Structure 1
Amino acid sequence: MPLQWLFLIVLAIATLGYVMGRRRALAAAHHDRRRLHSLPSYYGANAGLKAFVPAFLFAVIWLLVQPLVVTNTVSNMLGADVIPDTSSRGLVMSEVRRAADGLDAAVAQGFITKDRARSADADLNEVTESLKSAGQIITSELTRPILNAAQRYRAMTGAGASIMSGLVILIALAGALWGIWQAKAEFRARNVVEQGIRALLIAAASIAILTTLGIVLSLIFNTIEFFRLYPAADFFLGLNWAPSFSGRGGSSDLGVLPLLWGTLYISLVALSVAVPIGLFAAVYLSEYASPRARGIAKPLLEILAGIPTIVYGLFALLTVGPLLMQVFGEDGLGWMQAGTAVMTAGLVMGIMLIPFVSSLSDDIINAVPQAMRDGSYGLGATQSETIRQVVLPAALPGIVGAILLAASRAIGETMIVVLGAGAAARLSLNPFDAMTTVTAKIVSQLTGDADFASPEALVAFALGMTLFVITLALNVFALYVVRKYREQYE
């Protein structure tokens, strides 16, 4: 049964449970609401929640566990001649899944019967032709073990989906009946529903924490696997970045220092553009601009935040780069060899970051109590002195947070770097040289036909972990500065 239909069936059962639970509660009170502990809608909501939530959670858990169980079972039935080592297990199972999907498509389009698709002695040539007729791409020759594994995979997946559908419907019905049975006048339905809603809110709030934990754990495990294959000292202290997929890492230099330097250099150029312009714009909008000018200027400034980064990258490649070449290139000062350079990406990234600094700083400056300004004016200070000596110091912790947000966005930017800064990993102080960043190399290392058991592919996780640690250190440092300033200010 398709998941959409299953969802609609469970939703219908929950709706029916709501109606029946509400009706039964009213009937138990002889249609006198004053005799009920809770409003009638709470009795219906109790039955609806008991029908929908357990069934939904069971379906989610089943969908998460079933692929792992099926993949493990099917891979175990393949011998060592098909899966010679652990590194090739993923590739073989990908071929099995592709063949299973092809069989489903061929059966659906009528190129092969269900019996022939399930038959253990099905002709390989016939199956291959059926898959090709159904528009399936066969990346390698279909072998008997792969076909048998695909048939087993398809059978287990179909059986699992049928069992899941039946159990989900049964759980929904049982929950609805339980909620309807509880719909009595003395039942504390409001307390139960509110506790259930509170549990759902806690679960929703926990998703962010669990997602972060999952991301960190995936980075840690793959980073550990990388350092088993490549020396950590060569990675952190190496001055050369030259990956090569020939030889499984034997001829690769994977030093991270050129990538870190490019990341920090481009981010520094971007912040040197975004922080002054954004902060000055925030001061003007909050302290000097009239309401009419603010109402026009702030939305226009925030439009920059809605522009996709790929558009900024094209702007850097097609406009800013050639413009800089005219001034600093061979026809100008001769400092710039090509339009892709640190300065190109840094300037465009700085323009992109202006709304992050200006909008957040503007809100923070506006949050400074007016009484502090009035007190400064009462002591004879001018408006500029009040801004400089009262408003900005009071808003400094929030401004530091805005700058940190801009710095994190700069460090994690990819498309502007790819199109505007080039792909050269080098250590150089010249802002007109082409460089690259950690994020750009993560993309390049995981793009294409990569052997994910090789250091050249696993290095992407090590790069991600390194970037995560750097960003975390920036956050800790910013919190230290903010707290230290607050102690002095108070």
Structure 2
Amino acid sequence: MPVTWLFLIVLAIALAGYFAGRARVASASGGDRPHSLPNYYGWNVALKALVPALLVLAVWLVAQPFVVSTTVSAQLGEGAVPEGSTIGLVMSDVRRVADGLDAAVEQGLMSASEASGLDAATSNVRDRLAEAGAAIGGSVSPEVLAAAQTWRAMTATGTLMMTAVVLALAIGGAAWGWLQTSAEFRARNSVEGAIRIILLGAACIAILTTLGIVLSLIGNTIQFFRIYPASEFFGSLTWSPSFGGGSQLGIWPLLWGTLYISFIALLVAVPIGLFAAVYLSEYAGPKMRAWAKPLLEVLAGIPTIVYGLFALLTVGPLLLSVFGRDGLGWMQAGTAVMTAGLVMGIMLIPFVSSLSDDIINAVPQSLRDGSYGLGATKSETIKQVILPAALPGIVGAVLLAASRAIGETMIVVLGAGAAARLSLNPFDAMTTVTAKIVSQLTGDADFASPEALVAFALGMTLFVMTLGLNVFALYIVRKYREQYD
């Protein structure tokens, strides 16, 4: 059964349980006042049907591919791996062949629907499987074809078992909640306790997700440093990957490009964003602020791929016409550090302005009134009272914007080029850590080679950098934040 159908069936069972619980408490009370409102009895039945079933469904969908992959890999063994290949590439072939067999069976069943009789349908499916095996078997070994059949059979069995278990939990939970329903049952306490557990689980998802990301990065990073020296990764000034061997995977050209582009982006975003925040909070009237602030924040909703196209098609050619061969002669192509930095700075303007605006508005009006009472002008009040009071929060906003700039990918890919170099010229093409992570994992990556595993080492380095900036920003905000009455 497809997962979508199973999910809808569980929802239908929970909905039916909700109305059944409400109806049962109305009939079971016998005129006595029940402990809780009827809605709580309905929610008690619905939650007992919905939560366990969906939890098992989610865990099963995550665990089943790992179990099937591990079993099929053990079945293949080392003898099925050709020379020069890896078990990961062989498993990719197994999954591709299994998908082909699934398509063949589906086509066979569709064709058999026009035939009459079970024998005709079975014969048609077998013919389709034979055709699929002949079509795929020319480039795939018999071991891989057998493993694909095992993969398909295990997946079908697991899906059937999942359907049975999930439906049993949904029906059993609904029946349990329905049997609990009585005038004396404390349904409100039960529902509120369940909601508290659900909210706790939702809060833990973010923590567990972060932990999972860190553990996956750490494991593959350790594997990378086992086959490639850490001294060369952190000590070499050359980035020259070669999947044929002899790669030089020094991180410093990528870090330099990342920091250089982020620095230019902050030079654009911080002054403009801060000035916009000061104007909106101190000078703009209610009508101007009502439409100017939403228009400014529209920039935050534009996808980064659109910013990348803007850099590639508009900003790059514009800079080339001024600084290129026909102009000052400093720029060789439209893709450069300056191109990506300018566009990334435009993207960060609403980020800086929105946070700074909220921070400036948090400064009490009494400070402004006191400054005006001493004879200071509006500009003097802003420079000597408001900005110093809001400075810790503004610094935190700038650091958060810096971490956002460091992790940007699409603008860099389309606007900065792909050259890994150490250069001070902002009109040269460079690349960043995020862009190289994408390029190293594009295509059928062999995760046993340092050229592919280096992406995880780069990701771990980037994670540590952005985490450090975020922690430092929170430290600055909390340490120097002024508390006003």
| Alignment partner of 1:276 is 2:271 | yes
Greater shift in the superposed pair: 72-81 or 401-410: 72-81
- Match for residue 133 of structure 2 among 128, 143, 146: 128
Distance 1:156 1:278, change over 3 A: same
- Matched residue of 1:109: which SS? helix
CA contact (8 A) 1:107 1:114 kept: no
| Alignment partner of 1:317 is 2:280 | no
Greater shift in the superposed pair: 194-203 or 170-179: 170-179
- Match for residue 155 of structure 2 among 154, 157, 160: 157
Distance in 1 (CA, whole Å) between partners of 2:183 and 2:128 is 67
| Alignment partner of 1:258 is 2:253 | yes
Greater shift in the superposed pair: 452-461 or 99-108: 99-108
Q: Find the counterpart in structure 2 of residue 144 from structure 1.
A: 142
- Matched residue of 2:448: which SS? coil
| Alignment partner of 1:13 is 2:13 | yes
Describe the superposition over 1:224-268 as per-residue Cα deviations: whole angstroms up to 9, x where unpaired.
111011100100111000000113xxx111000011011101110
Q: Find the counterpart in structure 2 of residue 135 from structure 1.
A: none
TM-score, length basis structure 2 = 0.92
Distance in 1 (CA, whole Å) between partners of 2:426 and 2:241 is 24
Describe the superposition over 1:159-198 as per-residue Cα deviations: whole angstroms up to 9, x where unpaired.
2211221121111121111111111111111000000011
Deviation at 1:139, TM superposition (A): 9.4
Distance in 2 (CA, whole Å) between partners of 1:393 and 1:139 is 73
> Percent identity, aligned pairs only?
72
Describe the superposition over 1:390-423 as per-residue Cα deviations: whole angstroms up to 9, x where unpaired.
1112222221222122111211111211222111
Distance 1:22 1:452, change over 3 A: same
Distance 1:82 1:43, change over 3 A: same
Deviation at 1:303, TM superposition (A): 2.1
Distance 1:486 1:298, change over 3 A: closer
Counterpart AA for 1:233: S
Measured on the aligned residues, the alpha-carbon RMSD in Å equals: 2.5
Aligned residue pairs total: 476
Distance in 2 (CA, whole Å) between partners of 1:394 and 1:72 is 58
Distance 1:353 1:177, change over 3 A: same
Distance 1:139 1:280, change over 3 A: farther
- Match for residue 66 of structure 2 among 46, 65, 68: 68
Q: Find the counterpart in structure 1 of residue 29 from structure 2.
A: 29
CA contact (8 A) 1:275 1:354 kept: yes
Q: Find the counterpart in structure 1 of residue 106 from structure 2.
A: 108
CA contact (8 A) 1:124 1:143 kept: no
CA contact (8 A) 2:270 2:349 kept: yes
Distance 1:26 1:372, change over 3 A: same
Distance 1:195 1:328, change over 3 A: same
Greater shift in the superposed pair: 8-17 or 416-425: 8-17
Distance 1:489 1:180, change over 3 A: closer
CA contact (8 A) 1:361 1:402 kept: yes
| Alignment partner of 1:326 is 2:324 | no
Q: Find the counterpart in structure 2 of residue 396 from structure 1.
A: 391
TM-score, length basis structure 1 = 0.91
CA contact (8 A) 1:438 1:467 kept: yes
Deviation at 1:483, TM superposition (A): 4.2
Distance in 2 (CA, whole Å) between partners of 1:400 and 1:410 is 15
CA contact (8 A) 1:10 1:172 kept: yes
Distance in 2 (CA, whole Å) between partners of 1:123 and 1:326 is 60
Deviation at 1:368, TM superposition (A): 1.5
Distance 1:480 1:179, change over 3 A: closer
Q: Find the counterpart in structure 1 of residue 344 from structure 2.
A: 349
CA contact (8 A) 1:328 1:334 kept: yes
Distance in 2 (CA, whole Å) between partners of 1:40 and 1:458 is 57
Distance in 2 (CA, whole Å) between partners of 1:47 and 1:378 is 64
Greater shift in the superposed pair: 225-234 or 467-476: 467-476
Counterpart AA for 2:432: T
- Match for residue 440 of structure 1 among 435, 442, 447: 435
Counterpart AA for 1:22: R
Distance 1:318 1:18, change over 3 A: closer
Distance in 2 (CA, whole Å) between partners of 1:17 and 1:290 is 54
| Alignment partner of 1:469 is 2:464 | yes
Greater shift in the superposed pair: 170-179 or 146-155: 146-155
